[in-house]
Homo-oligomer: A and B are copies of this chain.
Amino acid sequence: MRVTITGAAGFLGRKVAARLALTGKVGARDITAMTLFDMVEPKPPAGAPFPVTCLSGDIANPADCARAVDRDTGVVVHLAAVVSAQAEADFDLGWRVNLDGTRALLEACRASGARPRVVFTSSVATFSGGQDAVIDDATRPVPGNSYGAQKAAGELLIHDYTRKGYIDGVTLRLPTVVVRPGRPNRAASSFASSILREPFLGEEAFLPVPESFALWIASPRAATDWLVHAAALDGKTLGLDRGINPPGLTVTVRDMMLVLQSVGGHAAMRLISRMEDKEVAAIVGAWPARFSDARAKALGFRAHEGLEALVRAFLEDDLAETKAMRA
């Protein structure tokens, strides 16, 4: 079967593609071909044991989506999205890419007749309630930003296309992914990666929230594991409800600073400065930090590693590439 990854030039897309190139399988099924899709043409993963087609296109353009899916497509991992601060700054672009783009992709899946497993990445940003909220599998999304509203609407598309038998969908509501490799981006949560990444590059990082601020996070390793697990899940065990809060890690900024000090020492700590950013604080301030993950655990999503392991994995997996990118 073919596996298609949208947003495949992004860091999570590249990690999922690399993982699948390594194993050659999704669950028990062999991967015989892969399509990587993004705005800019993605690079194929090293050493893939199957042919890889790399496409550039506009996810909201039905003709472009049609090229990304065929009747042999068994799995689609849909990561293409406009991130939170950008979706907040450009309302039309956010709805176009995050809702219309998802719909165009689902229409391509429906037209293919392949009824693929679609793994959709929704977000903690679909919820609000902030530091006091505890989210469980039945909590209604009341988004505090457009990105969250678009992702929550995308979940409803995944849900209904699945119920009608056009796809076999699963939604993972991803926590804030930390440490993101590369550069700071336009996600409102970008600071959470910056404070655990920039000091290891000898760069300053700015903290727009107090040390007591809690976040719900996931490492790139955990997020990749969950996406691959979601791709292989038996849809029959899910029933009508296709949304899953994976078992993220609740950490405070203080926890992150302590690990930074423990791994990077005082030199690293000195590169962090507090700097107010009301726009960012307003977006991330609405995001809950505490989740019940009963359903995810029952479905076999693996528990999250600790915060120090997360930082050491960044140094092992992504520091060299991040340095090279900036050289």
Contacts and interface: CB of A to CB of B under 8 A. Distances in A.
Contact of A152 (B137, B145, B156): B156
A140 B142 CA distance: 9
B159 A143 contact: yes
Interface in A119-165: 128, 137-146, 149-150, 152-153, 156-157, 159-160, 163-164
A91 interface: yes
A149 B140 contact: no
A145 B163 CA distance: 8
A160 B138 contact: no
A321 interface: no
A140 B140 contact: yes
Interface in A214-247: 240-241, 243
A163 B144 CA distance: 8
A237 to B, nearest CB: 16
Contact of A149 (B141, B146, B156): B156
Contacts of A240: 128, 142, 144
Interface residues of A, number: 25
Contact of A138 (B91, B137, B139, B159): B139
Given A138-B139, A140-B139, A140-B140, A153 B146 contact: no
A142 B241 contact: yes
A160 B140 contact: no
A142 B159 contact: yes
Contacts of A143: 156, 159-160
A227 to B, nearest CB: 22
A144 B163 CA distance: 8
Contacts of A159: 142-143, 149
Nearest to A128: B240
A255 B151 CA distance: 41
A157 B152 CA distance: 10
Interface string A9-42: 0000000000000000000000000000000000
B128 A164 contact: no
A157 B164 contact: no
Nearest to A286: B240
Given A150-B160, A156-B156, 14 more contacts: A128-B240, A138-B139, A139-B140, A140-B140, A140-B141, A140-B243, A142-B159, A142-B241, A143-B156, A143-B160, A146-B163, A149-B159, A153-B153, A153-B156
Among all A-B residue pairs, the 5 with the closest Cβ atoms: A149-B160, A140-B140, A153-B153, A153-B156, A149-B156
